[in-house]
Every structure is written in C-alpha cells, then in structure tokens.
Amino acid sequence: MSESKRSSRPTDARITRSSRSAESRDSGSGHDEKACKKQPDSPLAQDLRLMNVNASKGKPLAQGHGGSSANKSGGGLASVARLMKMGRCKNVVVVAGAGISTASGIPDFRTPGTGLYANLEAYNIPYPEAIFNVDYFSNDPQPFFSLAKVLYPGSHRPNYVHYFIRMLHHKGLLLRVYTQNIDSLEKLCGIPDDKLVEAHGSFATASCHLCYTPYPAEDAKRLIMNGSVPTCTFCTATVKPDVVFFGEDLPQKYFLHTQDFPKADLLLIMGTSLQIEPFASLVNTVRATVPRLLLNRHAVGPFQRNPLRRADRMELGDLEDTVRQFAEMLGWNDDIVELMKSQERERLDTPETLNSEDKDQVVEWNQFSHQCIPTLVGGRSAKRQSGSEESDSETDSKCSPSSCPAK
Ligand code: CNA
C-alpha cells in the first residue's frame, strides 16, 4: 500500500481516488463499449435474450428502472441465475461497496439518515469528503481516527452477502472481487488474498502520511483506539492506516482490472452508489455483451439509463434479502448457511482469537438452529430469527456513528 502510494503505476497517468461522479464518465458509449458494439453477440448474450423470452412466457422482460415488474419480481435475478446454472458464467467479477457491509452494522456513506454523511456532527468535519481528505487529515487527524475506531477490523463480522461472494469462489466461479470497502470483511469471511482487490486500501498496514515510512499496523491500531496519535519514527508526521484517501494513488493490485474486466463473463455490482472514481468506471470496462447485474437499493451509474443496456439487469431492494433470494435460485443457500456456521464456530472454538464481546456471544451461538445465521454474522438475520421485522433503516440506525459503541 505505502509502496503503491510512492511508486506510481508504470503507465502514463497517475490514477488516484477522486469523487467525480460515475455518470459523468459513463455515457454508456465509452471507448470499450464502442469497440465491442461492432462485434457479433457472444453466446452469452444470445442465451440471455432467449432466457428473457422464456422467463416471461413469450414476452421479453422489461428492463426499465427500479419500479418495473421485472426488477421487483426477480426477473433479473432469475435470468442470471439460470445462466449461471447453465455453466455460462465461469469468470465472475464482483464490484462491491459499503452497502454489502451495512447488514454487519457498518453504516455506508450515502444512505439518507443512517449513512456517515448524514451523521457528520459526530465527526466534526465541515464537508463529508473531509474525512478522507489527506490535507484535512494532515491538519486534524481526529475525525478520521474517530471513524477508524468504528471501522477497524475486529468489531464487525461478515454477513450473508460476504459469504455469498465466498461461495462464488468456493464454486470456482469467482475471477476477482473488487471492493471499495476498508472493513476487511471480505478477507475475514475467507475470500483468499489472490481473489481480492481492496481498491481503497485497508487497515492491515499503516505508514506515515507524508514520507510513507511503514509503521507497525498493530501499534497504530492500539494508539488510535486509545485516542493517541501514532507518529512517524522517521519524520514525526502523523501515521495513518493505509486506507486510500482522495488524491492518493490506488494500490498496485487495483490494476489487475485491466486483465480481469475484459475476461469477465458476468459482472455483479453490489451495494455501491458508483460515485467514486476511478473505481466507478470499472463497470463500463466489461465487454458490451457481458451481463451486468446490479443489486442495490436503487439504480446507480449506468443503471439509471432508460432503456438499460440489453445485457444489464438489476434487482432493487435490501441486499441481504436479494442475495439470499439469488442464492436460493442457485441452490446455494444451505451451503452458504453451513459455511457461515462452520466459519463462525471455528472462530468461537478458538478462544485466543476472541475479544470479550465475542465470548459473550458464544452462548447465543449455541442456541441457533440450522436455518439461523448467528447474531455475530449480522444484526438483521438475528432479528429475523427472533421474529422481529425491523426495517433496514431501523437496523442500520443502531449502528450510526453517533450510537456506535466503538466511539
Ligand atoms: P455509498 O456511496 O455509501 O453507497 C452505498 C450504496 O449501497 C448506496 O447506493 C445504498 O443505497 C446501497 N445500500 C446500502 N445499504 C444497502 C442495503 N442493505 N441493501 C441494498 N443496498 C444498500 O458507498 P460506496 O461504497 O459506493 O462508496 C465508496 C466509499 C465508501 C469507499 O471509498 C469506502 O471506503 C467508503 N466506505 C466504506 C465502508 C466500509 O468499508 N464498510 C463504510 C462506509 C464508507
């Protein structure tokens, strides 16, 4: 990470994280798409068209915006699930954002009411992006360190959505997951390093924000959690976890996208507003005939267009519910539940890896039946099990920055 910040990638342009909107770049006719439009349909696109006719008993499925019956009734999910079951998707690329972790109790940025941007008073910053602005950090690291206390790996567990991605790997279908998240939950659920690109960095390493001298990540965490400021042993400037801030270079691994996206035969886009560049534009770099499935609360990026690109599908609603539905269509739900149980049981059986909060939950864990996802794995599922039907916002708001115990 720190290395990648120092050494620019070996191409002409320096690619940094910026918040330019995806839509401004994606007109749906980018260079890659133009090149691909002239090509004949791939077998995959032909399958998809055929399946649309079948799925709606003779009528093509609508591909409109969120309100369309196709999107609400699972038409998009069903057609993609069917493609997968036919063995036509063997190089699945996942593009993920903060929405995949809200069920784990981590607020996203932009959800009204519960997102971090709606709770800025807790961080005492003048504008939302300041929290990831390196100049602002240089002057006052406290807002970011407050957020870091919430996000530091250890206090949250992966949820069903993370394990769905892990199952894609388990089934040999995952080419790579590109995540904007910095919570390490993909890693924690067992997705191996070589399948994972943490495009905006992580807390796994730390370094000086000025001279990039590495600093032991565990020491940085201990100091930050105790309210102290870690300082560079070389230049005494403030040390920060290697989370990519606006204006900083993305990790070298990010550039695997130049190989992966042209190879993808299915793109799954989950829980992101596609607002942060250059990440957001990645979704426009698959071949035009490759199915792109958006799973999100609302249409974002190129999925706001009407009509959609013909191979595009979206399923709007709560991500955990949608992914569970998708897994059921694929016949994976039991495997995922089993995987979650075994992974969590393994962790709880290893007392030295547990913090005190975890230990309290061991007792709860033992009470769960086969169908249940443990409390540890996500608040929503546990509530569902207890018969409570709380809305997303109620669930998420328990974890808003102002009420988070880590703060
Ligand atoms: P964002 O801009 O907050 O967008 C999140 C998207 O997910 C929105 O479109 C939401 O509607 C949607 N969403 C949220 N919860 C759900 C849900 N339960 N079901 C369905 N959809 C849902 O976040 P992005 O990831 O697009 O923005 C990228 C930023 C956010 C990255 O730079 C991250 O570093 C940063 N971030 C990361 C985390 C994390 O690591 N967990 C948390 C908060 C912010």
pLDDT digits (tens, 9 = 90+) for 294-305: 999 999 999 999
What is the CA(349)–ligand 1 centre distance, in A? 32
pLDDT digits (tens, 9 = 90+) for 74-130: 478 999 999 999 999 999 999 999 999 999 999 888 888 888 888 777 788 888 888
Q: Whose CA is nearest to atom 36 of ligand 1?
A: 98
What is the CA(311)–ligand 1 centre distance, in A? 24
pLDDT value at residue 353: 56
181 CA closest ligand 1 atom index? 40
pLDDT value at residue 196: 98
Query: CB of 332 closer than 6 A to ligand 1?
Result: no
Pocket test for ligand 1, best of 108, 381, 395 (most atoms within 8 A of CB): 108
Q: Whose CA is nearest to atom 32 of ligand 1?
A: 180
What are the residues whose beta carbons fall under 8 Å from the beta carbon of 57, sequence distance 6 or more? none
Mean residue pLDDT across the chain = 77
Pocket test for ligand 1, best of 72, 101, 109 (most atoms within 8 A of CB): 109
pLDDT value at residue 45: 55
- Would you state the structure tokens that stand for residue 141, as one six-digit string? 């690291």
Positions marked active-site: 200
Query: CB of 99 closer than 6 A to ligand 1?
Result: yes
What are the residues whose beta carbons fall under 8 Å from the beta carbon of 161, sequence distance 6 or more? 100, 103, 270, 271, 319, 320, 323
Query: CB of 200 closer than 6 A to ligand 1?
Result: yes
What is the CA(109)–ligand 1 centre distance, in A? 6
104 CA closest ligand 1 atom index? 41
Query: CB of 380 closer than 6 A to ligand 1?
Result: no
Contact 64, 71 (CB under 8 A): yes
Query: CB of 298 closer than 6 A to ligand 1?
Result: yes
pLDDT value at residue 13: 36
Query: CB of 272 closer than 6 A to ligand 1?
Result: yes
pLDDT beneath 50: ranges in the chain: 1-14, 21-39, 50-74, 357, 359-407
Query: CB of 248 closer than 6 A to ligand 1?
Result: no
What is the CA(20)–ligand 1 centre distance, in A? 16
Count of alpha carbons within 13 angstroms of residue 320, beta-carbon side: 22
Query: CB of 108 closer than 6 A to ligand 1?
Result: yes
